[in-house]
Every structure is written in C-alpha cells, then in structure tokens.
C-alpha cells in the first residue's frame, strides 16, 4: 500500500511548511503548517468587499502523534508567519490511507478581541 | 436646474458621513476592501412615477409625483458584528428620518409639501473573512414632485 504521508505529505510540508505554534487547552505544541490564506470577497447586493479568508493546512498524523485531539482544534490559537489566529472551525481532508492519515484545514479568524 | 432626485442622493451621502461609526462613505462604489470598513455605500435607487395609468390629456411637461427607492448598505468586519450592525442601523435610520434639510428643503414633507420619506426595512448579509463580516442594506422610499420644467 502506498504511504501517502511518506511519499507525498512529508516532502510537501518539508518544502512549503512553516513552523507554527498551536495553543490548545491541553498545552502548547510546535507543529508544521502550510499557510492557506486566500483572497475572499463578500458580495452584498452589487457591492463586493474584498478581504482574506485565513487558513492553514496541517497533517493529522503529526497532530495525533503530539497528543492534539480533534476536540481541541476549535478555539485553539495558531501562530505562524508572524500572525496570530484563532481556529474558528476546521475541515478534514482525508487521504487514500484514511482521514486519520490525511490533512486538516484550519479555518481561522483574527485573534483581535 | 433643480433635480430633486440627485439632491436626495447627495444629501444621503452627506448624512451618512456624519455617522460617527462610519469610516468612509461611497456613492455607487461597488468594490471595497476591508481596510475601508466600517463603510457605507449609497446606491442610486429606482425611480418610478404612476404615470403609466394616466392616459389623460394632461400635457407631458406638467409636474407629477415620483418615488425613488435608494439603498444604503453599511459594512463592518468585527468579532461581534451583530451588535455593531444594530448600532449602525439605529444611527442610520434616525439620521435619515430626522434630517431637517432632507425633510424641509429637498423632499418637503409634512407642512412643507406633499413629499414623504419612509424607511421600508432592511436585509442583512453575513460571512467570514478575516473576521466576521456583516452587511446591512437599508431601504428607503422618497416621494417628491418631479417638475420637468426644473430639470
């Protein structure tokens, strides 16, 4: 069976990943994430307001190996690339090896107030 | 030249600009960025007369009553956008309905003429951007005399 973590995710994260600090109720963890902040626009009537939709990918096996439970994701603090965010939600990106060996995309919001 | 419709729209921009919580006001700008928020956009509204029912011998250039329904949209990005949008709505509705210049000199409501200003209601729009995004579109109706001779 193909090990997608060894052959795909790990090399990709080694190139594109950045160091991040995830602070949950269980503690503070150093992890690697890929910045996935994207342009985002909201349209009200005909008026478009442009901003960003901050996000970051992480590997589920890395989080699991460090004792970070899925229940701890939401409302944790994620710091990377000199910005601090709050995980407002997340979506799992399964791999052919199963969701426990795939990625999670953290959906972030500003940590202001 | 006296264009009541344009005078109303210009006055709406000026009124919204006095709201303390609004950073910038735009007229018919449909492309904003988060750095400009909290912002408001005054959008020119449709204008209608009831003259399609008037097939009389009345000369074409006689005054008639017109109604215009402009829209004012206010935008904000904030962690707790709900109460903030409510505050902006409260300020906006009160500022428009109580504006002396609009009531007495432009639309001529009450004892100043047969014009009218009505708040028709609002619609909200929510979403996630960098933080919670909220928009509120307030609809107003203005009834005024359209005098072709003044245009």
Side-chain-side CA neighbours of B150 within 13 Å: the count stands at 12
Show Cβ contacts of residue A3 under 8 Å, excluding neighbours closer than 6 positions: A97
CB A54 within 8 A of CB A86: no
CA distance B14 to chain A (A): 20
Rounded-to-integer distance, Cα A82 and Cα B53, Å: 65
Cβ contacts of B137 on chain A, cutoff 8 Å: 44-45
Yes or no, beta carbons of A46 and B30 under 8 Å apart: yes
Question: Any chain A CB within 8 A of the CB of B55?
Answer: no
In percent, the amount of chain A with pLDDT more than 70 equals 99
Cα B11 from Cα B101, distance rounded (Å): 8
Beta carbons of A49 and B34 less than 8 Å apart:
yes
- Could you give the 3-state DSSP secondary structure of residue A22? strand
Chain B residues with CB-CB distance to A112 below 8 A: 79, 131
Can you list the positions of beta strands (E) in B2-106?
24-27, 31-33, 39-49, 64-77
User: Minimal Cα–Cα distance from B75 to chain A, Å?
Assistant: 8
Q: Could you read off the pLDDT of A37-53 as tens digits, one per residue?
A: 999 999 988 899 999 99
CA distance A34 to chain B (A): 17
CATH of domain A4-110: 2.40.10
A15 Cα distance to chain centroid:
16
Please give the ipTM for the structure prediction. Answer: 0.80
A113 — pLDDT class (breaks 50, 70, 90): low
Adjacent-strand bridge partners of A44 = A47
Q: Is the pTM of this model over 0.90?
A: no
* Residue-by-residue pLDDT tens, chain B, 151 positions: 889 999 999 999 999 999 999 999 999 998 999 999 999 999 998 999 988 888 888 888 999 999 999 999 999 998 888 899 999 999 999 999 999 999 999 999 989 989 999 999 999 999 999 999 999 999 999 999 999 999 8
CA distance B79 to A103: 27
Query: Which stretch of DSSP H or E encloses residue A49?
Result: strand A47-53
Is the pLDDT reported for residue A10 higher than 60?
yes
Q: Could you give the C-alpha distances from B93 to B23, B43, B70, in angstroms and in order?
A: 17, 16, 13
B142, B146, B4: which is closest to B72 by C-alpha?
A: B142
Nearest Cα residue to A29 out of A74, A64, A57, A56 = A64
Write out pLDDT tens, residues A68-89: 999 999 999 999 999 999 999 9
Picking from B34, B132, B135, the nearest residue to A44 by CB comes out as B135
């Amino acid at each position: 069976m193909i090990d997608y973590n060894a052959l795909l995710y790990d090399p990709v994260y080694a190139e594109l990943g950045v160091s991040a600090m995830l602070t949950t109720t269980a503690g503070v963890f150093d992890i690697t994430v890929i910045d996935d902040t994207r342009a985002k626009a909201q349209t009200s009537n005909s008026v478009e307001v442009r901003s960003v939709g901050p996000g970051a990918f992480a590997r589920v096996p890395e989080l699991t190996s460090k004792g970070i439970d899925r229940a701890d994701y939401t409302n944790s603090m994620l710091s990377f690339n000199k910005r601090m965010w709050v995980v407002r939600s997340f979506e799992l990106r399964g791999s052919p090896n199963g969701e426990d060996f795939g990625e999670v995309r953290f959906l972030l919001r500003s940590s202001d107030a | 030249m006296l264009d009541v419709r344009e005078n109303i729209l210009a006055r709406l921009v000026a009124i919204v600009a006095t709201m303390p919580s609004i950073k910038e006001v735009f007229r018919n700008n449909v492309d904003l960025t988060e750095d400009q928020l909290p912002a408001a956009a005054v959008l020119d509204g449709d204008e209608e007369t009831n003259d399609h029912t008037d097939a009389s011998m009345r000369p074409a250039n006689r005054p008639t009553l017109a109604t215009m329904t402009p829209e004012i949209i206010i935008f904000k990005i904030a962690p707790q956008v709900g109460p903030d949008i409510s505050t902006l709505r409260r300020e906006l509705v009160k500022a428009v309905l109580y504006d002396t210049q609009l009531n007495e000199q432009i639309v001529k409501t009450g004892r100043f003429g047969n014009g009218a200003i009505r708040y028709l209601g609002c619609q909200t729009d929510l979403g996630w951007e960098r933080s919670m995004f909220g928009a509120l579109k307030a609809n107003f109706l203005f009834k005024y005399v359209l005098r072709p001779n003044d245009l």
